[in-house]
Amino acid sequence: MTGNTINSNLSTVQRSRKNRINWMPYLFIAPSILLILSFLFYPMANVFYYSLQHFNANKPYYNGFAGLDNFIEIFTKDEIFKLSLWISFKWVVWEVALQLVFGLLIALVLNQAFKFRGVFRTAAIIPWAISGVITATMWSLLYNEHNGLLNDILLRLNLLDSPIAWLADPESVFFSVVLSELWRGIPFFTITMLAALQTIPQELYESCTVDGGGRTKSFIHITLPYLKNSIILSTLLRAVWEFNNVDMIFAMTNGGPANHTMTMTMYVANQAIVAQNFGYGSALTVIGFFILMIFAIGYLKLSGFGKEDN
């Protein structure tokens, strides 16, 4: 009986030790969780809260609970919102498509073996390392109507009769800013695609060559399938980043002229920061959040990200 009692007690102790929660791992990740809550979720909760408020620092006597008034005004009365949404759509499509094409082409070249390849690879990522404000200043000088390098080259080549105010002309301003951001954004796709290209087994290309397949067939049937997930993920990330892009446009045009570069995030910046209408700006931000969330979920679903082709 004594032996059975001892064994029973030992089993009880062992079970209690197994059921005891080990809090040590949670203590290690607690600082990270606190930082995420402090710098991510709390500001997000604040934005959702202020989107339901009339909160204008310039008109404090009107401040108070607004309910859905901000959202109703945005969708029914705000024509600039509709314009900014359309410009944001064009901006994202042009930027992501062009950056992907040129980034992939450069990655294919840099994936080949040639002399000084390391130097060219380093040079290819330099635009990515330059801040948006510096890039905007550099391109603004290039586009300058009076002493800009672009006008000077085109005039010398007799491609222009007179200088063009690239950032002041409604017909040229949008694609001028698109070109500036394109120069900065291509390295992202170059790096991503180059890393993915280096994971493709070379034996596949050798087998394709033996079977009589040329460069085009190997690109279509080998390279693109292997790059599928990288392309989907990188285009999604870049689309979100470009939708939220504000530094280049703010520094170069501030949304002008005549709102021709007024993207949605630029409109949010003007409302919340310049006009200090934080309630209205927060409502615009909430709408942008749901647009991106729906787009991301739908894009990943339709593209079949992470699924193997049968």
Q: Quick one: pLDDT at residue 3? A: 52
Domains of the chain are 66-303 (1.10.3720.10)
Q: Quick one: pLDDT at residue 19? A: 59
pLDDT tens across 71-89, in order? 999 999 999 999 999 999 9
Q: Quick one: pLDDT at residue 188? A: 92
Least Cα distance to 132 among 245, 7, 32 occurs for 245
Between CA 78 and CA 306 the distance in angstroms is 40
Q: What percent of the chain has pLDDT over 70?
A: 92
Encoding tokens for residue 44? 């997000």
Q: Quick one: pLDDT at residue 225? A: 86
pLDDT at 13 over 70: no
Q: How far is CA 8 from CA 16, 17, 18, 20, 21, in A?
A: 12, 14, 15, 18, 22
Q: What percent of the chain has pLDDT over 90?
A: 43
Compute the residue count for the chain.
310
Confidence band for 240, pLDDT divided at 50, 70 and 90: very high
Confidence band for 15, pLDDT divided at 50, 70 and 90: low
Q: Residues 103, 125: contact at Cβ < 8 Å? A: no
Average pLDDT over residues 31-60: 85
Q: Quick one: pLDDT at residue 216? A: 81
Between CA 4 and CA 217 the distance in angstroms is 75
Q: Quick one: pLDDT at residue 34? A: 87
Instruction: Please classify residue 160 by burial: count the beta carbons closer than 10 Å to its beta carbon, then call 0-12 exposed, 13-18 middle and 19+ buried.
Output: middle
Q: Quick one: pLDDT at residue 11? A: 58
Q: Quick one: pLDDT at residue 297? A: 92
Average pLDDT over residues 14-34: 74
Q: Quick one: pLDDT at residue 106? A: 93
Average pLDDT over residues 107-116: 88
